[in-house]
Amino acid sequence: MTRQGPQAAVERALQAARCDDCVVIADETSSANLRWAGNTLTTNGVSRTRQLTVIAIGRRGVATAAGVVSRAGVRDDQIADVVRAAEQAAADSIPADDALPLVAPDGAAAQAAGWDEPAASTGIGVFTPFAAALGDAFGAAAAAGRKLYGFAEHSLTCTFLGTSSGLRLRHDQPGGKVEINAKSADLARSAWAGAGTRDFSDIDVAGLAARLSLQLDWAARRVDLPAGHYETLLPPAAVADLMIYLYWSAGARDAMDGRSVFSKPGGGSRIGERLASCALTLRSDPAAPGLECAPFVIAHASGRDSSVFDNGLALAPTDWISAGQLAALTQTRRTAQRSGLPVTPEIGNLILAAPGATASLDDMVARTERGLLLTCLWYIREVDPQSLLLTGLTRDGVYLVEEGRVTAAVNNFRFNESPVAMLGRITEVGATAAALPREWSDFFTRAAMPPVRVDGFNMSSVSQAS
């Protein structure tokens, strides 16, 4: 049986549906990756997959049930089977807590151009110029007695969303990242740099390698410091990991249920409360240059902060924290009804900025009398949801700054910090720029963050890891 493409699969599934309402999502994904260790490539691969998700909705009087079946590699002659399975799932289910009418065309994102264009794909060829530069970097590192480790990945997902309410929306999401970790021959010194990218044309391997060399040189002198509260400069990658966790913890449902850091004692949420000591804004915008993401809701399954009934809903730029005050929490149309707050679904990028901030990280180092400069954070986990206390490690370079310059490398630390409380102890904010989160880049690569200076960052204990 031939296959006529994802657009035809969406139409065929909608036509096959006998349920009251139906949402169909066809995803075509291709990806390629390279991985290396010790100046040699280790693993690699390319993959292609396609996934058909059918959300069958049965309305029984006031009760509405939804069944979701998502299947990979569906042939045209199997589409009706997937629809039947979803309908059966809806019939088996109890009413959905988030049930609402489907999004109508006038409430959806504007019709995406190019619905009928074939789905594009990526492949190993996307790395051609990058791989040559990487090969040069391997050679240079080997000559300098250093070792490079890392990973490069590129993917393209073309999503086609159709609903029985008449929506036909398409979103093509390219995504990519490169992470390079440089180590001294004895592995005692380590440095890391990473970048997100849409197409690898903007990846400057030589530039990243030069920064790594500088950091390894900083580590020529080593000082041991004890646990304690330190004035700390966090570069954008470290800020990104902390702010992304805060964002993931900003669900309206949990806040209204009294079980998150954003709950107000006695009921309701902390919206309107000042969180940051300065006029910081934490926001998402589907059209943010270089960080473009889906301009409409794509929900394969319902969850605490997502709803399949919201599929196709237009996403507007949203401030989560505005001028230092909590301004919005992530939510569905259903939780918005309950909380009486605007509908602000999660958006696939995150930007932290302070108005007028222009300082670079180097500028901030130059203004530091004594403090720590971090590279990135690792193994970040929630310790206490009440305060959003997180724990984790510093990784790949902690440096001592004295009288405006880096004077030595320091041992790693385990930190215990809440990103919410930390916002209140930020004393300086630099210029916002694209940043790859070290910890969460498997799930979230589109971030722009400033470097920040934090008073009294809690380094709870020393880690022997190097």
Partner 1 sequence: MDLTAGTAGAGRVDEEFTALPLRELAAVALQRAADLGAGHADFRAERIMRRRISLSDGQLETRYDTDEAGLAVRVVVDGTWGFASDVDLTAAAAARAAAEAVDVARVAAALTAERIELASEPAHGDVTWVSDYDIDPFSVPVAEQIALLGGWSAGLLAHDRVDHVDASLLQVKECKFYSDGATTATQQRIRVHPELTAVAVQAGGRFETMRTLAPPAGRGYEYLTGTGWDFPAEFAEIPALLEAKLAAPTVRAGRYDLVIHPSNLFLTMHESVGHATELDRALGYEAAYAGTSFATPDKLGSLRYGSPVMHVTGDRTARHGLATIGYDDEGVAAQSWDLISGGVLTGYQLDRRTARLTGLGRSNGCAFADSPGHMPIQRMANVSLRPAEGGPSIAELIAGVQRGIYVVGDKSWSIDMQRYNFQFTGQRFFRISHGRLAGQLRDVAYQATTTDFWNSMEAVGGPQTYLLGGAFNCGKGQPGQAAPVSHGCPAVLMRGIRILNTVEEAS
- Site residues for partner 1, window 10-39 (CB under 8 A)? 31, 33-39
d(CA 421, CA 156): 37
Q: For residue 390, which of 422, 410, 364, 417 has the smallest C-alpha distance?
A: 417
Nearest to 437 by CA among 249, 192, 240, 248: 240
* Number of chain residues interacting with partner 1 (CB under 8 A): 94
Member of 15, 49, 111, 358 binding partner 1 (CB under 8 A): 49
Applying CB under 8 A, among 62, 94, 113, 143 the residue interacting with partner 1 is 94
Torsion angle defined by CA atoms of residues 333, 338, 343 and 347, in that order, rounded to the nearest 10 degrees: -80
Cα–Cα dist 307/311, whole Å? 7
Closest listed residue to residue 146, CA positions, set 179, 178, 190 = 190
CB closer to partner 1, 68 vs 219: 68
Per-residue contact string for residues 212-241; x = within reach of partner 1 by CB under 8 A? ------------------------------
Smallest gap from residue 344 Cβ to partner 1 (A): 19
Gap between the Cα atoms of 466 and 397, Å rounded: 8
Applying the rule CB under 8 A, the residues between 338 and 377 that interact with partner 1 are: none
Closest CA to 273 of 319, 353, 320, 327: 327
- Binding residue for partner 1 (CB under 8 A) from 11, 76, 319, 382? 382
Q: Please identify, using beta-carbon distances, which residue of 115 and 379 lies nearer to partner 1.
A: 379
Closer to partner 1 by Cβ: residue 154 or 171: 154
Residue with smaller CB distance to partner 1, 97 or 402: 97
Choose which of 303, 342, 355, 404 interacts with partner 1 (CB under 8 A): 303
115, 7 contact by CB (below 8 A):
yes
Considering only residues 107 through 126, tell me which ones interact with partner 1, judged by CB under 8 A.
124
Instruction: State the DSSP code for 310.
Output: G
* By the rule CB under 8 A, 80 interacts with partner 1: no
Distances (CA, A) of 421 to 276, 328, 433, 438: 8, 18, 23, 21
Binding mask 410-429 for partner 1 (x = CB under 8 A): --x-x-xxx--x--------
Q: Is 271 in the site for partner 1 (CB under 8 A)?
A: no
Question: Out of 16, 166, 264, 271, which residue is the one contacting partner 1 (CB under 8 A)?
Answer: 264
Contact 447, 436 (CB under 8 A): yes
Question: In this chain, which of 77, 199, 204, 257 binds partner 1, going by CB under 8 A?
Answer: 257
Does position 445 bind partner 1 by CB under 8 A? Answer: no
359 vs 388, beta carbon nearer partner 1: 388
Backbone angles phi, psi at 206, to 5 degrees: -65, -40
Residue length, the chain? 466
